[in-house]
Amino acid sequence: MTIKVENIRIRYIVGDFRNKGITDYILKKLKGEQVSRAKEFWAVDGVSFELYKGDFLGIIGNNGAGKSTLLKAISGVMPPTQGSVTVNGNIAALLELGTGFDGDLTVRENTFLRGALMGYTREFMKETYDDIIAFAELEDFQDMSFMQLSSGMKARLGFSIACLVRPEILILDEVLSVGDGEFREKSEKRMAEIIADGAITLFVSHSLGQVRKLCNKVLWLEKGKQKAFGATAEVCDMYEQAMKKKKKGA
Amino acid sequence: MKNLIADRWQKYNFLFEQLVARDFKQRYKRTYLGIVWSLLSPLLHLAVMVLVFVNFFGRTIPHFVVYVFIGLKVFTFFKEATTRGMSSLVANRNILTKIKAPKYLFLLSKNVASLLNFGLMLIILFAFVLIDGVPIHPRFILIVYPIFTLLLFNIGVGLILSALYVFFKDIGHLYEIFAMLVMWLSAVFYDISNFSETVQRLALINPIFTHIHFMRSVILYGVVPEWYVFAICAAYAAAMLALGAFFYKRYNYKFLYYM
């Protein structure tokens, strides 16, 4: 099981002609005017690394450093604009679990839909549906429409469905645990099991403490660029020093 | 090819079923009366059309209600499937930026949901057929053909529109107007047999009219359409599907990068 990321770059397009529309576009073309080109920006700009069986990678960096986008490229949701990602092994990405549900559907319907999206089989969902609801502690809400749930409940449901995966390669966007109090503990425990079962884990975090505790390798991104990749202690120390300097400077 | 489809089906049939269920429910869940409204509103639409036009065309067109209903429903099937297909990718952005799933399934499910709606309307249509005393005929089974080709045609148009929709937000408004034009050109409530031979030939350029013509020939007149009507329907479906597939392949993931 390996992951090989080779010099990948991912480009977003912002404030584009989409806002102006096709009529405007055609009019400008007819008049021979320059069609205003969309602004581009590289969310991930030249990142390379390799991971092997047993690796636990922490990805650190400020907001907007391209961490989530990088995870999306590795999980295959967003193919990179340039460069290549090679993944050997089955992979599951748990990203922003509480979102992407359909407000009009009931909790039950959403659970099945999400399960199907996660790639679970019909039989598996039928068997585990009750367990999912029990784990999320939503027994009394099964036939309510999803938008009536509180945001905590939504996150709990998202987590409960997602935590049934048993991938070899696990991608996490700060979802080591959700909810509060008892559920927090429960979900943390479940996540630890999934991680223990898998071979490679990639994990975005804002908590250096967590990264130092869990990871053996760290990737540090800044504005899409790769600042450092290497052993945890080394990269974390570098990062901390850089942050201190920045604070002093400011 | 066959293996590939079987393989995909094996892998994704559960997801596809869930998506179709969602798209179908969305329509009926919005209001308290749900299903009643979605049956009532096409009937009211039909009533308005018939009341307005019965004095103009109703005298010369036998079984005018059935005649209009076929035209109206075929057109609605086309419009609904393509309009919903257009936004099917962008509307599911929230899901597609987080979970890896084949995007075309989201478009196909909208088309199947629209097909199911159309099926419901066919039941009403046959109620009208019975009430209006249109002779029932074993040839009715032939309508499966244009429904199938129209389904493929709709998928093709939806694929093209969904690609354009990523880049041009106002395509929705333009399409609305375009669809209205298509409706007026599709002889929904008038009869083109009064026009010259040339006009009647030209009308077949309009795929929606061709499909309406097919359905009417079979249901109202119990005749098997000319061979070229079969051929034209198939040609439209094949051409649109090919073009749609080309657009999809090229552009389907682009919207992920537009913020």
pLDDT, tens only, B128-166: 999 988 898 899 999 999 999 999 999 999 999 998 888
pLDDT, tens only, A11-49: 988 765 555 677 777 777 777 776 666 678 899 999 999
- For residue A79, the chain B residues in CB contact (below 8 A) are 253
- Distance from the Cα of A116 to chain B's closest Cα (Å) equals 5
Domain locations along chain B = 2-257
Interface contacts A/B by beta carbons within 8 Å = 95
pLDDT, tens only, B89-142: 988 888 888 888 899 999 999 999 999 999 989 999 999 999 988 898 899 999
pLDDT, tens only, B220-251: 999 999 999 999 999 999 999 999 999 999 88
pLDDT, tens only, A212-231: 988 999 999 999 999 999 99
Check residues B27 and B219 and name the one with the higher pLDDT: B219
Which pLDDT score, from 0 to 100, does residue B32 have?
A: 64
Question: CB B167 to CB A18 under 8 A?
Answer: yes
Question: CB B98 to CB A19 under 8 A?
Answer: no
Domains of chain A: 2-90+214-249 (3.40.50.300), 107-204 (3.40.50.300)
Question: CB A23 to CB B22 under 8 A?
Answer: no
Nearest CB to A16 within list B30, B256, B258 = B258
Mutate: best of A22, A90, A97, A111, partner B, most B CBs <10 A? A22
- Distance from the Cα of A232 to chain B's closest Cα (Å) equals 27
> What number is the average pLDDT over the span A84-106?
86
Q: How far is CA B172 from CA A1, B48, B105, B237, in A?
A: 46, 26, 21, 22
Residue of B nearest to A42 (CA): B257
> What number is the average pLDDT over the span A185-201?
86
Question: CB B100 to CB A75 under 8 A?
Answer: yes
pLDDT, tens only, A129-169: 999 999 999 999 999 989 899 888 888 898 899 888 888 89
pLDDT at residue A249 greater than cutoff 80: no
Which pLDDT score, from 0 to 100, does residue B259 have?
A: 67
In three-state form (DSSP H/G/I as H, E/B as E, the rest C), the secondary structure along chain B is CHHHHHHHHHHHHHHHHHHHHHHHHHHHHCCCCCHHHHHHHHHHHHHHHHHHHHHHHHCCCCCHHHHHHHHHHHHHHHHHHHHHHHCHHHHCHHHHCCCCCCCHHHHHHHHHHHHHHHHHHHHHHHHHHHHCCCCCCHHHHHHHHHHHHHHHHHHHHHHHHHHHHHHCCCHHHHHHHHHHHHHHHCCCCCCHHHCCHHHHHHHCCCHHHHHHHHHHHHHHHCCCCCHHHHHHHHHHHHHHHHHHHHHHHHHCCHHHHEC
B contact residues 75-104, partner A, Cβ 8 Å cutoff: 94-101
- For residue B252, the chain A residues in CB contact (below 8 A) are none
- Look up the pTM and report it: 0.88
Mean pLDDT of chain A: 87
- Distance from the Cα of A98 to chain B's closest Cα (Å) equals 11
> What number is the average pLDDT over the span B161-189?
90
